[in-house]
Amino acid sequence: MNTVEAIVLAIIEGITEFLPISSTGHMAIASAFFDSEDDPFTKLYLVVIQLGAILSVVVVFWRKVLDFKNFSFYGKLVLALIPSILAGLGLVSFIKSALGNTLMICIIMVLGGIVLLMVDSWFKDGGKKEEKEISFKNAWWIGCFQVLAVALPGLSRSAATIIGGMQQKLSRPLAAEFSFFLAIPTMLAATSKSLYDIWKDDPSLLNGQGIQTILLGCAVSFVVALIAIRFLINYLQKNGFKAFGWYRIIVGSILIMLILMGKL
């Protein structure tokens, strides 16, 4: 992986991780474009640079994330994480297979876009505006929605959890905020597991040059994710999800045609 590829992939990670457009789908397609989807270091790199995106959430919401006296807040996150852990353990083989199927990922991107076109009419902006109004029951059901993204790469973890929050009567900004919070333990757990598996197979990947590239990627994804988080919160306060839906449909459809034509 050269420096340009590393920066491009990190920018894509930072933009797509928290927007409801599927980071998994974009990263899979970008890796295929660079013809590096089977490269062991690229797989490691794509996993680890998520840590930069995670750190951006901590920085933006540091007062709430680091409020160690708010045990209820942490309890809700843990409860919301449980369904994804159980699904991840039970669907390991299927998930690995799905992640390697770029056509399926693109189809799911399109279908997810269609859902986003309709979600604003399905769920009106809810009355819950503050984190303290989120109950443990709400958190559990949002976690169950996240399972859809675990099982269907290309759906978008962010989209699934935000829609889950709106279904639970959270306002759009609050649903997005809780989705960001839930990303911290979810991505840490997934990253730790993937990092261990990759390192166990080939620890030589973490050589001096590799570490430098990873640090660069984390820094880039961190800065870009900061911008993406602030953009999404401000955008959702005034707008819905249709723009993201059309984006997914258009991009997904183009990619499907390229795949069927053998261009990707």
Task: Select the highest-mean-pLDDT range: 116-130, 196-210, 226-240.
Answer: 226-240
Its pTM stands at: 0.85
In order of 5, 44, 170, 175, 238, the CA distances from 129 in angstroms are 40, 38, 7, 9, 14
Task: Select the highest-mean-pLDDT range: 69-73, 134-138, 232-236.
Answer: 134-138
Q: How many CB atoms lie within 10 A of CB 70?
A: 14
Structurally, how many domains does the chain consist of?
1
* pLDDT surpasses 80 at 199: no
pLDDT > 70 fraction of the chain, expressed in percent and rounded: 96
* pLDDT surpasses 80 at 94: no
* pLDDT surpasses 70 at 205: no
Cα gap 179→158, rounded to integer Å: 6
Please state the rounded mean pLDDT for residues 40-52: 84
Cα gap 40→234, rounded to integer Å: 38
Q: Which of 56, 62, 61 is nearest to 228 (CA)?
A: 56
Cα gap 14→228, rounded to integer Å: 7
Range of the domain at 178: 3-260
Please state the rounded mean pLDDT for residues 30-46: 79
Please state the rounded mean pLDDT for residues 110-130: 86
